[in-house]
Structure 1
Amino acid sequence: MSPTSPAPASPTPPPLTPPLLVPPSLTLPPLILPSSTPQSPTSPPPTSTPRFVVPAYFHPTDHPDSWNTLAELGQNLAFAILNPDSGPGHAIDARYAEPIAAIHAAGGEVVGYVDTGYGRRSGSAVLRELAAYQSWYGLRGGFLDQVPTGPEHVAHYRRLIAAAREMGVDHIALNPGTTPAPEYAELADMVITFEGPWVAYGDHIVAEWTRHHPPERFCHLVHSAPLAELAAVRDGARGRHAGAVYVTQLSGANPWGSLSPLFEHVAA
């Protein structure tokens, strides 16, 4: 779900066979957040209303009210996805510190966006970016994007996620953007089984294997929805076996570039 490719395809690149190397010690400057150390993601009891996963691909300087809205969601926010520059970027941006701290204080969570290149990106590169989010922003979760769907890549992601958890990454979400092989659900805390436009959402079929897991393990990200349909998408997500959802009327190359005012109304 990169800003320039909001609707991931599912190519079948060759499997990654070299052993996964944990990155060497990093010399990233630590960031002291203005609140207490963030806790690991909470797991509230299941409810009939989906929680929200928000691709927060907008800067708090340009969209302060949107970040305030994320904090106001409290535990209704499963997590917001931090994505400063299609990843953590090359340097810390201290302007994210206060909004992240406010979300943590309200009981929500923030995770860091990392592009995995459908298994073609080295595990060391992915782990270094997760470590940057930890060091710079105090994050303990990762949103791994551009994940393939086929079982031939499961071993690579199993090694990658095991190494990430050893680093202290407590919460892992995988985004193939469609329903992957069942093995992926065994690796992650959440799998995004739909990402795409509203016109395609009506054709989404719930895979039978997903019903062996609680709906809280799955999420749908829907863009380009008519304004009148936003609440219906939110309310209908659980019937599609998704315990988390995000829906916006925005479209184009990056429909996640701002939090729509209507979504703020729906979220409230």
Structure 2
Amino acid sequence: MLIQGARALLSSGAIFPLYIYPGDDCSAWSTLFDSIPASPNLPFTLIINPASGPGSNSVPDTTYQACITQALSLGSNVNTVGYVLTGYGGRASADVLQDINTYMDWPVAYRPSGIFLDETAATAEYLDQYTSYANQVRADDSSGSIVILNPGINVADPGFFSIADFIVTAEAFYDDFSFPDSLIINATEPAAKQIVILHDAPSTLPTALIDDLTSAGIASTFITSMPQGSAYNTTPPYWESYCAELTSSQS
């Protein structure tokens, strides 16, 4: 278990690609908000994505400011990370670094705890490039900033585990994922640094798979029954039950 403040946090948490505009009074995030105090020992990582990144302004709009602040106030088990697109190494490095800096310059009340680098090219030729991104994330807070890489598949070069706190090693259709065959887990690619994100799951909660993933010590998971096109802009219908199962499976 991780220790944060006086509370012991469970080893396997929930990650939420929160690509949902919060709306008036944060109403679109209300189910998420309810789930956080209901599962106080479950680590929550929320991926904040105002405009396929931080947007062109130095800070997000006032709705985002208020709702991110509210999310962070719900418990010490909540972290936020800012979404940055990298285009599988093809996006200009200057633009990636600018997005990182924009997030990390937000006021402390709603500043993310780290960065989610989407569309990661996890092959050896790109390791130096992503190392520079990871270094920039940690430039202002080397001990506390979270670096999450998302190749969506197992990395071709295990060296990426040395620069990331976590790596999404599976982002896939539910039916295309098989545990443990879809993952590579070993001493250099530990389960504790891996994240699994699945969409198009069954309409009933897949408790057996959830239990398998937590038993293996996978760092964080997100499973939704929503189809790929709306998987990240709609709260999973069974989100609160999902969080409860993550908790109970580790009790």
The TM-score range, normalised by the shorter chain, is 0.7 to 0.9
Choose the corresponding residue for 1:77, options 43, 46, 65: 43
Contact 2:170 / 2:183 at 8 angstroms: preserved in 1? Answer: no
Q: Return the alpha-carbon distance in structure 1 between the equivalents of residues 47 and 132 of structure 2.
A: 23
**What's the counterpart of residue 127 of structure 1?**
97
Choose the corresponding residue for 1:262, options 215, 238, 249: 238
Q: Does 1:168 align with 2:111?
A: no
**What's the counterpart of residue 20 of structure 2?**
58
Alpha-carbon RMSD across the aligned residues, in angstroms, is: 2.5
SS of aligned partner of 1:237 = helix
Q: Return the alpha-carbon distance in structure 2 between the equivalents of residues 248 and 129 of structure 1.
A: 28
Amino acid at match of 1:120: G
Q: Does 1:224 align with 2:200?
A: yes
Contact 1:206 / 1:241 at 8 angstroms: preserved in 2? Answer: no
**What's the counterpart of residue 206 of structure 1?**
183
Instruction: Give 1:71 deviation, angstroms.
Output: 3.7
Distance 1:67 1:90, change over 3 A: farther
**What's the counterpart of residue 67 of structure 2?**
99
Q: Return the alpha-carbon distance in structure 1 between the equivalents of residues 97 and 4 of structure 2.
A: 23
Amino acid at match of 2:236: S
Q: Return the alpha-carbon distance in structure 1 between the equivalents of residues 206 and 51 of structure 2.
A: 28
Contact 1:67 / 1:99 at 8 angstroms: preserved in 2? Answer: no
Contact 1:112 / 1:139 at 8 angstroms: preserved in 2? Answer: yes
Instruction: Give 1:135 deviation, angstroms.
Output: 2.8
Q: Does 1:145 align with 2:111?
A: no
Distance 1:187 1:52, change over 3 A: same
Identity of aligned residues (%): 23
1:151-202: CA deviations, max 9, x gaps? 1111111122112211437110000001102111100100011001110112
TM-score where L is the length of structure 2: 0.80
Gaps of 5+ in 1: 1-40
1:205-227: CA deviations, max 9, x gaps? 33243x44553311100111002
**What's the counterpart of residue 249 of structure 2?**
none
Amino acid at match of 2:117: L
Contact 2:45 / 2:80 at 8 angstroms: preserved in 1? Answer: yes
Higher fraction of strand: 2
Aligned residues: 226
Distance 1:222 1:174, change over 3 A: same
TM-score where L is the length of structure 1: 0.75
**What's the counterpart of residue 8 of structure 1?**
none
Ranked by relative contact order (alpha carbons within 8 Å, sequence separation 6 or more), the top structure is 1
Contact 1:81 / 1:112 at 8 angstroms: preserved in 2? Answer: yes
Q: Does 1:197 align with 2:173?
A: yes
